[in-house]
Chains A and B, each alone.
Chain A
């Protein structure tokens, strides 16, 4: 189990006073959550094996409230953390017991859409999917599409620089953010960027996107919208071996004819998803590729023929093409609910997120299976294969004593394989608490010190979402093992 920051008794002792102060600051009662029952709703995120009930929760309704809360926390040395929908798979939204959670889910308005400039201005709590829904009738969409897009917020996407299946063609969050309203830890509200491409001065957007909410809190975002393709169609290709499927992905990518998405599932994942959604996946296959192409009807025909030929060349045992929008949606529904589907067949799982060079896919897959065998865990693989972003899901039962330690060791070995193959420890989920202690696999103490120098510049007292990204030993934050079943309330 990971160590978590020990709560500061001195802060916990002030809890009643802090609650009174925040209530006075907000001028009303209904934006502050203090009851143990309700606070429990904020104890975890998508990394559900870690839970700590926060001290207080504020549900902010506008930027001014966010600024007031941050200024208060800064002046009074109270840890604080922004939270969107709490879907982080890395513990990015895990609070500490002495933390004020700054919930942004009420800030869910789409403020402005420009069809001409292909931009939208939205509040941070708007869900990823709702942006695309709101501009659908303009034949535009917001491209980065994390699997949790129905729930996850754009503010969370900005914090974690989220990816998704279609990022293979379109790029990730950082490539689609034009401007933000940024609130500093001192409570200053700063407009950064705008509707135009790029920004003058330093690329502060590049720095803020992916900083895991440690430098400030983003309350509004201007996103770039993309023209919707005329049409898109996924193809399903079943293989007798995961290695064949991996080789097929590497071969397709090497041609440079990049499909809009290439998703990989191995047998445990196929079976789980098929049972969960009935998407029509080939249940006799050892591995499945979902390859989507888009464009005009003629372009789709050409590219599908190319993809099909490549799949057959690499030993595909079954190929089927979505015949209509409903079957295409089913195919994606199966993929995007994959984590939920695994949850149906295994009591618990830990999702890894390493990225590797695509040409190394077959080798790395083999090593992952070997690691799983050695530890005695079944591993389901579901991932964005086109850009080498792997999601091995290590399945386990948390009722077995001490199992989480072994799961985390198993995961650490997988990440080491990814780094050794020339990749990285996290492709799109972020470091959070989960991969904090693995950062030295990629970075020297001096490399990390440079990142920390930035953190200190923006948040000298290290109050904003501390305890994430950097190994705790590197930050000097006192820490220990926290029993998830024992909150302070």
Chain B
């Protein structure tokens, strides 16, 4: 598979997920119904995780640790339709193995962050790989989802076909919400023939990941050189320059969030020491207008602010 193996990775393992308070084993559930019941029967904030590989991104969450890791298994697979559904905790390695039997691949090959991410985690974080230009981001390949909202209701949205505009596009709205809106329990995605695999250009990424601070910057491709001018640390580019990775030794005087925004882009701090992210977070600061809209979306899905409170932004 021309997949993610080629992408450079940090050396930490999934077990190091800083999201889980030391000593606490996250509670796991073997069915979506059981997890929904737990959400209904409890009242405290929940620190949600999947495979744990992305636990080092965002503000640390104070809450009862819950994982979707117990929700395992492929629930629907029609190779001739190029559609696959799986419970959210199913690991990418398991999906890739099932797809390989039919010469199919996932249309996204996210960085592994040193672990074996769950499908739910990949969709909830929407960090894709080199194929963004041709196959889209994870969000572009989601067809449907079953999820639990903040009231503990087990709901579904979307479906199993590629073209579907029946109601609001909620599965896509949940992509990239980092578990702050809903708990994804089952996801249906598009898969593609192996022939459409995109080479994962990893040049320079090893050195980037070896740095204590790793920034992932999405920006108009003609501004990549402006971002990189004067940058002395390790860097790498993907998406014809529309994605730039920067490795830094310190949080530094260069605020990458500011620089990215000034260039019409946005940045995510995907690796940083715990003490830094506890103080500063990792996500791109947003305009007051966008913040207000986000709060409305949060209130609609999770009115009690129980899911990963404050992980992305303090007010969500």
Say whether A456 faces chain B, with CB atoms less than 8 Å apart. Answer: yes
Give the one of A256, A428, A448, A458 with max B CB within 10 A. A256
Are the CB atoms of B264 and A196 closer together than 8 Å?
A: yes
Are the CB atoms of B172 and A206 closer together than 8 Å?
A: yes
Say whether A329 faces chain B, with CB atoms less than 8 Å apart. Answer: no
Are the CB atoms of B163 and A387 closer together than 8 Å?
A: yes
Give the residue of A116, A203, A256, A356 whose beta carbon is less than 8 angstroms from that of B161: A356
Query: Which of chain B's residues has its CB closest to A250's CB?
Result: B80
Say whether A400 faces chain B, with CB atoms less than 8 Å apart. Answer: no
Complex alpha-carbon distance, A431 and B83, angstroms: 24
User: Nearest chain A CB to B234's CB is how many angstroms away?
Assistant: 22
| CB within 8 Å of B: which A197-256 residues | 197-204, 206-207, 209-211, 250, 253-254, 256
| CB within 8 Å of B: which A441-489 residues | 442-444, 446-448, 450-451, 453-454, 456-458, 469
User: Nearest chain A CB to B180's CB is how many angstroms away?
Assistant: 8
Are the CB atoms of A201 and B294 closer together than 8 Å?
A: yes
Are the CB atoms of A206 and B169 closer together than 8 Å?
A: yes
B-binding segment of A70-78, A341-349, A419-427:
A419-427
Number of interface residues of B (CB under 8 A): 70
Are the CB atoms of A204 and B297 closer together than 8 Å?
A: yes
Complex alpha-carbon distance, A448 and B155, angstroms: 9
Give the residue of A211, A359, A427, A458 whose beta carbon is less than 8 angstroms from that of B296: A458
> Chain A residues with Cβ under 8 A from B286's Cβ?
200-201
Are the CB atoms of B293 and A204 closer together than 8 Å?
A: yes
Give the residue of A161, A256, A451 whose beta carbon is less than 8 angstroms from that of B195: A256
Give the one of A200, A442, A458 with max B CB within 10 A. A200
Given contacts A202-B176, A357-B83, contact A447 B156 (CB under 8 A): yes
User: Nearest chain B CB to A180's CB is how many angstroms away?
Assistant: 11
Are the CB atoms of B242 and A424 closer together than 8 Å?
A: no
| CB within 8 Å of B: which A387-430 residues | 387-389, 422-430
Are the CB atoms of A197 and B218 closer together than 8 Å?
A: yes
User: Nearest chain A CB to B140's CB is how many angstroms away?
Assistant: 5
Say whether A188 faces chain B, with CB atoms less than 8 Å apart. Answer: yes
The 0/1 profile, CB within 8 Å of A marked 1, for residues 146-181 of chain B is: 000100010111011111111111101111110001
Say whether B29 faces chain A, with CB atoms less than 8 Å apart. Answer: no
Are the CB atoms of B169 and A450 closer together than 8 Å?
A: no
User: Nearest chain B CB to A404's CB is how many angstroms away?
Assistant: 22
Given contacts A188-B292, A423-B161, A457-B300, contact A197 B222 (CB under 8 A): no
Say whether B82 faces chain A, with CB atoms less than 8 Å apart. Answer: yes
Number of interface residues of A (CB under 8 A): 75
A-binding segment of B12-20, B42-50, B112-120, B131-139:
B131-139
> Chain B residues with Cβ under 8 A from A192's Cβ?
290, 293
Give the residue of A190, A254, A439, A446 whose beta carbon is less than 8 angstroms from that of B166: A439
Given contacts A206-B172, A443-B167, A469-B167, contact A196 B301 (CB under 8 A): no
Say whether B219 faces chain A, with CB atoms less than 8 Å apart. Answer: yes
Are the CB atoms of A184 and B80 closer together than 8 Å?
A: no
User: Nearest chain B CB to A137's CB is how many angstroms away?
Assistant: 19
Give the residue of B162, B165, B293 whose beta carbon is less than 8 angstroms from that of A429: B165
Are the CB atoms of B167 and A190 closer together than 8 Å?
A: no
Complex alpha-carbon distance, A202 and B293, angstroms: 9
A-B pair number, CB within 8 angstroms: 222
Complex alpha-carbon distance, A422 and B162, angstroms: 12
Say whether B289 faces chain A, with CB atoms less than 8 Å apart. Answer: yes
Are the CB atoms of A207 and B172 closer together than 8 Å?
A: yes
Say whether A64 faces chain B, with CB atoms less than 8 Å apart. Answer: no
Are the CB atoms of A200 and B266 closer together than 8 Å?
A: yes
Are the CB atoms of B167 and A431 closer together than 8 Å?
A: yes
| CB within 8 Å of B: which A365-382 residues | none
Complex alpha-carbon distance, A250 and B176, angstroms: 33
Say whether B70 faces chain A, with CB atoms less than 8 Å apart. Answer: no
Say whether B243 faces chain A, with CB atoms less than 8 Å apart. Answer: yes
Say whether B284 faces chain A, with CB atoms less than 8 Å apart. Answer: yes
Complex alpha-carbon distance, A237 and B174, angstroms: 42
B-binding segment of A17-25, A53-61, A127-135, A170-178:
A170-178
Are the CB atoms of B287 and A191 closer together than 8 Å?
A: yes
Complex alpha-carbon distance, A167 and B162, angstroms: 10
Are the CB atoms of A199 and B266 closer together than 8 Å?
A: yes
Give the residue of A161, A207, A387, A423 whose beta carbon is less than 8 angstroms from that of B297: A207
Give the residue of B81, B149, B177 whose beta carbon is less than 8 angstroms from that of A202: B177
User: Nearest chain B CB to A452's CB is how many angstroms away?
Assistant: 9
Complex alpha-carbon distance, A273 and B214, angstroms: 58
Query: Which of chain B's residues has its CB closest to A161's CB?
Result: B165
> Chain A residues with Cβ under 8 A from B149's Cβ?
450
Say whether A86 faces chain B, with CB atoms less than 8 Å apart. Answer: no
Given contacts A196-B242, A256-B193, contact A426 B165 (CB under 8 A): yes
User: Nearest chain A CB to B99's CB is how many angstroms away?
Assistant: 12
Given contacts A196-B265, A439-B167, contact A254 B156 (CB under 8 A): no
Say whether A194 faces chain B, with CB atoms less than 8 Å apart. Answer: yes
Query: Which of chain B's residues has its CB closest to A360's CB?
Result: B81
Say whether B283 faces chain A, with CB atoms less than 8 Å apart. Answer: yes
Complex alpha-carbon distance, A264 and B299, angstroms: 44
Are the CB atoms of B287 and A196 closer together than 8 Å?
A: no
Given contacts A204-B294, A210-B168, contact A446 B173 (CB under 8 A): no
Are the CB atoms of B155 and A444 closer together than 8 Å?
A: yes
Query: Which of chain A's residues has its CB closest to B299's CB?
Result: A457
Say whether A166 faces chain B, with CB atoms less than 8 Å apart. Answer: no
The 0/1 profile, CB within 8 Å of A marked 1, for residues 101-134 of chain B is: 0011000000000000000000000100000100
Say whether B78 faces chain A, with CB atoms less than 8 Å apart. Answer: yes
What are 24 A-B contacts defined by CB distance under 8 Å? A116-B222, A117-B221, A117-B242, A174-B169, A191-B287, A191-B289, A197-B242, A203-B126, A203-B174, A203-B177, A207-B173, A207-B297, A211-B168, A211-B169, A250-B80, A355-B164, A356-B161, A358-B81, A423-B159, A431-B165, A447-B155, A447-B157, A450-B149, A454-B168
Not counting A200-B268, A426-B164, a sample of 9 additional A-B residue pairs whose C-beta atoms are within 8 angstroms of each other reads A161-B165, A190-B293, A197-B132, A197-B137, A198-B176, A202-B173, A202-B177, A209-B169, A389-B163
Closest 8 CB pairs of A and B: A206-B172, A256-B193, A190-B289, A200-B284, A427-B163, A457-B296, A200-B266, A207-B173
